[in-house]
Homo-oligomer: A and B are copies of this chain.
Amino acid sequence: MTITGTVPTLSQTVEGFSSALTASPEAGTITPKVTTQHQSGTATTVTVQAGPHNFVIDEPETLGGANAGANPVEHLLASLATCQVITYQVWAAKLGITVETLEVDAHGDLDIRGFFGVDDSVPAGFNAINTTVRISGPESAERYAELSAAVEAHCPVGDTLTRGVSINTDVEIQP
């Protein structure tokens, strides 16, 4: 990536959005979307298209897949961990806090008896998710605590997961 003088800094981007959305609140609503397609002839290989980006999600051989990509629950954890990273970056810019290095790991326990229907009293999903944030830079512990609290309050994926959302599914049977 080449940074030139004409590319706004993240602080400028954040300030620009904040001003624009204060003036025009209705401009805040966006509608992210993805399309996915099962790959014929495979057990669990799925291609994903998200705007100009495409990637493959699959299961490992032990679960019957071809291991052509990370699996859906790993992508769920990745969405949370990277959303925390990006929310740290954006709120560090907003609060004037310097961050030098930043890593976030995520893991959670899942009982696959739920997925396979072995015991219907076992939930199919995660019971809890744990993330570990490793951050370095010149600020005080208090400033990084302020930043962490702002991230917890404003991370879109974290908010979605902790609040829970309804999922509406339409099934179309094709001829």
Contact = CB atoms under 8 A, between A and B. Distances in A.
Given A21-B118, A165-B125, A170 B33 contact: no
A71 B78 CA distance: 10
Q: How large is the interface on A (under 10, 10 to 19, 20 to 34, 35 or more residues)?
A: 35 or more
B160 A125 contact: yes
Contacts of A82: 36, 46, 48, 57, 72, 75
B162 A118 contact: no
A59 B90 CA distance: 11
A79 B81 contact: no
- How many copies of this chain sit in the oligomeric assembly? 2
18 contacts: A13-B63, A21-B112, A21-B116, A28-B122, A30-B112, A35-B81, A38-B99, A51-B60, A51-B74, A52-B67, A72-B79, A72-B82, A73-B157, A76-B76, A79-B79, A90-B116, A110-B156, A124-B159
